[in-house]
Amino acid sequence: MLSSLDLLDLARSAATRAARFVREVERPADPLAWAVKGSRDFVTEVDRTSERLITEVLLAGDPRARIVGEELSPEIATDGLVWVVDPLDGTTNFLHDYPAYAVSIAASMDGVLTAGVVYHIPRDQVFWATLGGGAWCGDRPLRVSPIQSPDHALIGTGFPFKDVAELSDYQRQFARVVARTSGIRRAGSAALDLADVAAGRFEGFWEQRLSAWDMAAGILLIREAGGRATDYAGRDLGVEHGPVVAGNPAIHRWLLETLRDGA
């Protein structure tokens, strides 16, 4: 059986291979080359090639492993070794040369997040974590922010751009959060947003709905950095789709209360 460090090495190797490809490939400038997954949601040949490069590395490590991802196999699996992969998180940013996009890879053993990597491609930064081994950026250990007052907190978020029917609920939540904090940011890559919580740049983060591949690696980063990542009911998240509320312990509690009040 592969250890958590073995899984981390595979994830880092796969993420590095994909990041190198994305960094060097010619960006498809013509919107006619942007295949549409859904309203305002795109996938390109870059995404597909990146996922192929990742899959080759991961399955070479254990051919019995399963891979979960939007363009790979979107069905959630939790038994045995499961890789949860986003080959290019922030595709729209990539297409517009907005420097917030990443490769996100997490390993789950029997439903338990065990290793995770988020590779910030434009910055050439690798965030990584193993279960019980802490969270790191390169060789620098990560800790969530010590700020406990919402008045001084910077909060990350994601807009409900795929399903605008949820926009009115989100606007009520936004109004409550923005009225009590020092600011809200939306960069368009949930994997990087969650890494920023782990790194202490954001005190908290919330989004109404994310896919497992958007957040699996980021969830482990936050937990290993001393924070929490849950659903709106305060239940710790695993490999699943749904809402996420994350932050250092104090801001996480405050966000949960504030979002419930805004429901």
Residue-wise pLDDT for 105-123, tens only, equals: 999 999 999 999 999 999 9
| Alpha helix positions (H), 36-187 | 45-61, 91-95, 167-178
Return the beta strands (E) in 147-187 as ranges. 154-157, 183-185
Residue-wise pLDDT for 38-92, tens only, equals: 444 445 788 889 999 999 999 999 999 999 997 666 678 889 999 999 999 999 9
Query: Domain spans of the chain?
Result: 4-141, 150-261
Which candidate, 90, 141, 135, 117, places its Cα nearest to that of 11?
Answer: 117
pLDDT at 219: 98
pLDDT at 164: 73
The whole-angstrom separation of Cα 49 and Cα 206 is 30
- The CATH homologous superfamily of the domain defined by 4-141: Fructose-1,6-Bisphosphatase, subunit A, domain 1 (3.30.540.10)
Q: Which fold has domain 150-261?
A: D-Maltodextrin-Binding Protein; domain 2 (3.40.190)
pLDDT at 41: 42
The whole-angstrom separation of Cα 251 and Cα 74 is 32
Task: For CA atoms 250, 254, 257, 259, give the dihedral sign.
Answer: negative
The whole-angstrom separation of Cα 239 and Cα 222 is 15
First to last CA, the chain: 44
The residue written with tokens 């390109």 in the block is: 44
Residues 46 and 131: beta-carbon distance below 8 Å:
no
pLDDT less than 70: residues of the chain: 30-43, 71-74, 163, 262-263
Residue type, 45: E
Domains 4-141 and 150-261 agree in fold:
no
Task: For CA atoms 154, 160, 92, 78, give the dihedral sign.
Answer: positive
β-strands 66-68, 81-89 pairing: parallel
The residue written with tokens 């890559």 in the block is: 189
pLDDT at 73: 67
What's the whole-model pTM score? 0.93
The SS3 assignment for 78 reads coil
Within 13 Å, how many C-alpha atoms sit on residue 185's CB side? 18
